[in-house]
Structure 1
Amino acid sequence: MKLHDQIKKYRQEYGFSQEDLADKIHVSRQTISNWENKKSYPDVDSLLLLSLLFNVSLNDLVEGDLGIMKRVLMNHDLDIWTKIMLAFLSLGVVVGIPLTYLFSKWGLAVAIMLFIIGISASIKVDSIKRKGNLRTYQEIIAFMEGRKLSDDEKIRDRNGYWKVELLMFIGSALITAIISEIILLFIKLL
Structure 2
Amino acid sequence: MSMQGGEEMEFGKQIKKLRQEAQLSQEELAERIYVSRQTISNWENDKSYPDVNSLVLLSETFQISLDKLIKGDIEVMKDVIQKEEIEKMNRYGGIYTMMLIASAVSAVPLFMLLGVWAPIPWGIIWGIAMYFAFMLEK
Please name the residue that 1:26 is paired with.
34
**Separation of aligned partners in 2, 1:68 and 1:44:** 19
TM-score, normalised via structure 1 length: 0.40
Q: For structure 1, which runs of at least 5 residues remain unmatched after alignment?
A: 72-131, 134-138, 167-190
Per-residue CA distance 1:89-145 (angstroms, 9 max, x = gap):
xxxxxxxxxxxxxxxxxxxxxxxxxxxxxxxxxxxxxxxxxxx79xxxxx9xx67xx
In the other structure, the counterpart of 1:59 is: 67
Aligned positions of 1:40-79 closer than 5 A = 40-68=48-76
CA RMSD, 1 decimal = 3.4
1:153 corresponds to which residue?
A: 91
Q: What is aligned with 1:6?
A: 14
- CA–CA distance in structure 1, aligned partners of residues 77 and 19 of structure 2: 21
CA shift at 1:150, angstroms?
6.8
Q: Rate the CA distance shift 1:50–1:158 in 2: closer, same or farther, 3 A.
A: farther
Q: Distance in 2 between matches of 1:28 and 1:158?
A: 52
1:32 & 1:11 partners in 2: Cα distance? Answer: 10
| Separation of aligned partners in 1, 2:77 and 2:88 | 22
Q: Which has the larger radius of gyration?
A: 2
> What's the TM-score, normalizing by structure 2?
0.53
Give aligned pairs, total.
94
**Hey, what's the Cα distance between the residues in 1 that align with 2:31 and 2:96?**
51
Q: Which amino acid aligns with 1:55?
A: Q
Give the 3 Å change call, closer, same or farther, for CA 29–157 of structure 1 in structure 2. Answer: farther
CA distance in structure 2 between the partners assigned to 1:10 and 1:158 by the alignment: 49
Moved over 6 A (4+): none
Q: What is the aligned counterpart of 1:37 among 32, 45, 62?
A: 45
CA change 1:62–1:36 in 2 (3 A) is: same
Aligned residue in 2 for 1:104: none
Is contact 1:4–1:37 with CA below 8 Å preserved after alignment? yes
The answer for the alignment partner of 1:17 in structure 2 is 25
Verify the 8 A CA contact 1:5 1:36 in the aligned structure 2. yes
Q: Secondary structure at the match of 1:155?
A: helix
Residue 62 of structure 1 and its aligned partner are, at CA, apart by 1.4
What is the one-letter code of the residue matched to 1:24? R
* CA–CA separation in structure 2 for the residues paired with 1:149 and 1:28: 40
Give, as a single letter, the amino acid of the residue that structure 1 aligns with 2:87.
L
